[in-house]
């Protein structure tokens, strides 16, 4: 169980950005931005970050597009391009 939102990211990506495990990071898309703590892990592929959408204080869906997929008619809430940087 998690008590807060985490931004899971690959160690190579984190290192290139000067981000260490536990650092506060800003995750921004063209639709919005959120701040959460970094979780540096090999579980995340290089070039990919992972966040849940369970925590109101870091509302991940602010980053995503509410448009519906034209075929399935479901929101495109699962994937979007983001920029990650240290928040401090």
Architecture per CATH, 6-86: Beta Barrel (2.40)
The pLDDT tens digits for 7-50 are: 999 999 999 999 999 999 999 988 889 999 999 999 999 999 99
Model confidence, pTM: 0.77
* Residues 37 and 52: beta-carbon distance below 8 Å: no
The yes-or-no verdict on residue 79 having pLDDT over 80 is no
Q: Which residues pair with 28 in a beta bridge?
A: 33, 83
**In angstroms, rounded to a whole number, what is the distance separating the alpha carbons of residues 68 and 74?**
5
The pLDDT tens digits for 60-69 are: 666 767 777 7
Helices and strands (H and E) in the chain: how many? 1, 5
| Residue from 41, 30, 31, 21 nearest 86 by CA | 21
Q: Which is more confidently placed, 77 or 50?
A: 50
pLDDT at 23: 98
């Amino acid at each position: 169980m998690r008590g807060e939102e985490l931004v899971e990211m690959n160690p190579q990506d984190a290192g290139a950005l000067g981000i260490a495990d536990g650092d506060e990071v800003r995750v921004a898309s063209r639709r919005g931005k959120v701040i959460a703590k970094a979780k540096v892990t090999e579980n995340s592929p290089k070039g990919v970050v992972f966040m849940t959408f369970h925590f109101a204080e870091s509302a991940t869906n602010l980053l995503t597009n509410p448009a519906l997929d034209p075929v399935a008619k479901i929101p495109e809430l699962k994937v979007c391009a983001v920029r990650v940087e240290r928040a401090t």
